Structure 1
């Protein structure tokens, strides 16, 4: 029995050993292959399509067709769309740009792995530009029968750190407005300290309302309108008005309980009326401006340029707003800053104007209606450009009363009328230009005299009642160029112009710039030969030779017309901005050196005939039922600028110009 058991045990051992030997003798099994990974198409087209919808503001399309299931379940379409639309409007989001980093060309995409795309988001807001970087993640999912890449999204793609439930507010800080300065750096439009007066309604003494309204230059109704705005609460600080730094007025305001004052920047114009038609002024934005500049960060409270260069250079002078976008967190009950931008000051714009010269010319006019210009003949730089009388733009800061505005608007001297932008009949001050054209054509010999008798003349009886007249008929013959310029002999210049062949007189005037728009920051009426740019008759041509007929000239162009006499025959375009002040040739070759010297000598002679120590030409014209006095010329000692001046209702004004020039020297 024992043997049987041992045999059985032995047999079992043999089986085990044999089995082990057989197992050991079997070849090693082949390694198991991992299940093959299925590659899917690139998610990049979906990224590009999603970004295009995002930039277009198609939030519904983003939600329905591109968000993954998890995002859709957390952010329902209605909230997703409405929230973004509200934030875009609240923050003034504009110029939205989104770019992404393109994947490597050999990138392999699978349905099991998310796809990450680094993106850069930039846009403009009411507090300035916003820029941040994020990672856009896409998951490969089945939406119904569609399998594709879908975007994982959260609110921080709208603003950094933004989460669902956050309240978004802004604090706006306006960028300081840039200055306008003259060629020497003198401020002609700058900022000074003013005060914003506010009221806390629950602390305000209602009995002081009439006093407060008077101090602020407003009606009690206007004050009530401010205090009764829909958003006002009794404990709120309500801005009412801005005032200048008037210590007496500030002391009186200080006695009224419930009022506060804070320093604010306020525009100031140091040269007042002398430069008013150049600078213009700033004021509350108009409805038309607000509509035209929609989407550019302007609000109904913004102060903008309303006239002159303040309006024309608005984009350059306007500072870039700064401020903060603030998130009040629902979860942590905390307040954090999402975006913090420093305001950027506006540009300082320098003019070619010499403010002190401008002031001297304005004062020389003595408040009489007229206009004046001064240029550098070698560059075309505008050194002065005056319209008189002017108005004080400081009266518009912070606001002008309606009664004062009406007083200025109804003033018979028209202080709002910009005379340097208008055109007038120039009269005899055009005669040097006629002489220049005649000499260059070869028909006018300055030394050759003409025998002229009588005070009036006509070439043919067919001219009818029209005759050319001259101021004097007692100047001894022969009349040469010197005598003709000194005594404004209209008959001499009429005959010379009629001798110029083939309509060369008209083309000569066109070469001097007649009929052309002047590319100038402030719009100027172009000088013209006639209403249609031609001569309707010989009589009209004869009158135009001495600045009569239908000819009209702008004062700045008139000063420029004399520049070829001093600038080697070159006519330069007039400039006003110092960064545009490099020589800009309008036309050249208008006078050769010999003819230029001849005209210079004749202008010296004409000035001495007037008893002036100036080279130049004077004259009078009848316009609007009164005589206008004209003078164009330059200093004998420093012919580095040409003056032109016209005074309405005056006949002799050369002395005014001489006074200014001597003061400048």
Structure 2
């Protein structure tokens, strides 16, 4: 490349650079000589957080009135405090004032969009436009002594009510234990040791709270929450809790006050159903941060609290407020209203729930009370249990260990599991046999004593029963006397294919349509085919591999009040009455079985006769299921069932109760359940 050509290229480059510089200068001058463009440039600096550049645009008088440091602090605190962004200004068309620019501001903030009209004083200094600054440039109502704050409006979590309006989970108070360090005795170590022992904490944990940087001698330091000392629904007082709080108040410096909290008035009586809330975890917050949760939120961890979380959880509101120097509220700049959580009303009757729990609290059991005419679940109980309130106030390690090491497994939810039904399944077998024509209810299948086998092909295996009786070995007597041999024969007559098909039709192997997840019932392992005659015969009287969920059992028994159709159980009072399975059993067969079940209660020989009431007609069936490793096993246990209902009642006063109790061997089998249930029947049936 020759020298002339190279010089030409250099000249062009220099010319381009000079032209760009001139254009940039012209652009800057144009901006600085236009009041509107100066204002827009000023506002654009807010999102960039370039407060120093904003200060440089102020006129000399403004800069003399406010230092750069104070200017930056004032603007940063307000704009960043409200999380201002996407700031747009538009000029008002008819500018009426000389030396001022009228404009409209629109910005996004943490509480939503903010809109307001404003004006800025702008005049020239040394050939350039400069901004006259005062606090009203931020918000028109703002004076120099005012403060701008964001105030949270806490939303209430929805309340869970029973059918009569009694609170099952809602706003209440707990006892907040605090300590004023400056009022402790001359031997603070001894005080802390005593306090720690009463609160099931370590003295080191309490000392750690007292060592926080903010703590002063005259400030109350929160230590732990306890349940309030008040009467339980049963009318008794938690004496141990009362003793602990009384002893705490004897320690110098200890103060116990009320603090608002989520509370569960029924405590352990409804814990497995209602569940509990706790503080949100980091993982939960990450997935829900866009749903109105923060690090201080509580969230449902189990039961209905978890199931209905989206409905119960409220959305907190916020206000951007200008406060005067004296602390009074001057103006609300923007507001996002709070949205309280939804209140939910259940079909549960607290009185029934409490009575069932109190009746069986010493047993490993579960109970379902339901209206068989409309599917409303009136009680859903698992015993023993834990107290939901313990999780809210803070479960101690000692209490957590006790619950998990308790051989009676109070944390185990029994009503959601499946259990061997024993003889409580016999009405189902009778209804299937009669409905399919495989079994004539009046047919005598023959007496076989207390032990029977179909043929020698069964080897040493025999079906046994407990009661011999005179009269025909038909369906009615077989139900009254709970004849295992009759129902083993009935199952063989029905056949494996028909039986499994009809059990599937009655909901076995299906998901139970209920708010709380329930384990599905099975007629064999994994609901595979019944593989042998012995398994088929055992299935006929509720043994073999048959397992039934108690709520499913309640729905099945509802068919005997609804011409063979099974009600869909539901927990919310607003839910409409609906069938889960229409015509699960033949209507005539269901009617026959229902009449026979009345005699199970009314006949003096009936296994449920101990529950008979003088003023209310009942129908039902008992069941004692053997749980053992083999036929020869003598170390196994027994489950006791009692399923009982009011036949012929109307929709409002129909009741059905299903109860299962573990470990009834040597305690009367299902008779134990019948005896304990009678008090419930007298009160609620």
TM-score by length of 2: 0.70
Name the CA shift for 1:643/1:253 in 2 (closer, same or farther; >3 Å): closer
The offset of 1:494, in angstroms, is 2.6
1:107-506 correspondence runs (5 A): 130=112, 132-133=114-115, 169-196=149-176, 208=188, 210=192, 218-229=201-212, 239-246=222-229, 263-322=258-317, 324-325=319-320, 339=334, 344-459=339-454, 461-462=456-457, 464-465=458-459, 467=461, 469-472=463-466, 474-476=468-470, 478-500=472-494, 503-506=497-500
1:634 aligns with 2:645: yes
Q: Is 1:618 matched with 2:622?
A: yes
After TM superposition, give the deviation of residue 441 of structure 1 in Å.
0.8
SS of residue matched to 2:538? helix
| 1:6-45 map, 5 Å | none
1:581-622 superposed Cα distances (whole Å, 9 cap, x missing partner): x11221112334432321111101222223242311112111
Post-superposition Cα deviations, 1:171-197, rounded to whole Å, max 9, x if no partner, equal 445333332221121222233333545
CA distance in 1, matches of 2:497, 2:76: 66
488, 499, 509: which one aligns with 1:515: 509
Structure 1 378/635 Cα, relative in aligned 2: closer, same or farther at 3 Å? closer
Tell me if the contact between 1:375 and 1:384 (Cα under 8 Å) persists in the aligned partners.
yes
Distance 1:297 1:435, change over 3 A: same
Give the CA deviation at 1:404: 2.1
| Cα distance in structure 2, aligned partners of 1:341 and 1:221 | 43
Q: Quick check: 2:292–2:315 contact (8 Å CA) kept in 1?
A: no
State whether residues 98 and 122 of structure 1, in contact with CA within 8 Å, keep that contact through their aligned partners in structure 2: no
Shift of the 74–646 alpha-carbon distance from structure 1 to 2, 3 Å rule, reads closer
Q: How far did 1:223 drift?
A: 2.7
Q: Which residue of 1 aligns with 2:123?
A: none
Separation (CA, whole Å) in 1 of partners of 2:579 and 2:154: 40
Q: 1:322 to 1:383 in 2, by over 3 A?
A: same
Residue 155 of structure 2 aligns to a residue whose secondary structure is coil
SS in 2 for 1:293: helix
* 1:532 match: secondary structure: helix
Q: Which runs of 5+ in 2 are unaligned?
A: 1-38, 53-71, 91-100, 120-134, 230-241, 613-617, 629-635
Partner of 1:646: 660
1:586 alignment partner in structure 2: 580
- 1:256 and 1:649 map into 2 onto residues whose CA distance is 46
Taking a change above 3 Å as real, the CA distance of residues 257 and 536 of structure 1, as seen in their structure-2 partners, is: closer
Q: Which residue of 1 aligns with 2:23?
A: none
List runs of 5+ in structure 1 lacking aligned partners.
1-66, 102-113, 125-129, 138-154
The question of whether the paired residues in 2 share the 8 Å contact of 1:530 and 1:550 is answered with yes
Distance 2:297 2:519 in 1: 31
Deviation at 1:664, TM superposition (A): 2.1
- Does the aligned pair in 2 maintain the 1:324–1:337 contact within 8 Å? no
**Structure 1 position 661, deviation (Å):** 0.8
Aligned partner of residue 574 in structure 2, secondary structure: helix
Q: 1:64-114 CA distances to partner (integer Å, 9 max, x unpaired)? A: xxx95454467646679x9999999977x89x999999xxxxxxxxxxxx9
- Partner SS, residue 423 of structure 1: coil
Asked if 1 retains the 8 angstrom alpha-carbon contact of 2:200 and 2:398, the reply is: no
Please report how far the alpha carbon of residue 305 of structure 1 lies from its aligned counterpart in structure 2 after TM superposition.
Answer: 2.9
Structure 1 position 552 matched with structure 2 position 547: yes
Look up the match of 2:97: none
- Aligned 8 A contact 1:471 1:487 in 2: no
Q: Give the drift of 1:295.
A: 3.8
- Contact 1:97–1:123 at 8 Å: present in 2 too? no
TM normalised by structure 1 equals 0.72
Given that 1:119 and 1:136 are in contact with CA atoms closer than 8 Å, whether structure 2 keeps it comes out as no
Q: Is the 8 A contact 2:563 2:591 kept in 1?
A: no
In the aligned structure 2, how far is the partner of 1:482 from the partner of 1:365?
Answer: 31
Correspondence for 1:566 among 561, 580, 583: 561
Could you give the per-residue CA deviations for residues 480-534 of structure 1, whole angstroms, max 9, x where no partner exists? 1011112222332233223336822111111111111123222211111122212
In structure 1, how many angstroms separate the alpha carbons of the residues matched to 2:541 and 2:89? Answer: 70
After superposition, the C-alpha distances for 1:344-403 in whole angstroms (9 at most, x for unaligned) are 543321111111112222222251111111111111111111111122333444223221
Per-residue CA deviations over 1:407-438 (Å, capped at 9, x if unaligned) read: 12211111111111111110111011111111
SS of aligned partner of 2:415: helix
Matched position secondary structure for 2:444: coil
Change (3 A) 1:502 1:558: closer
Q: 1:39 aligns to what? A: none
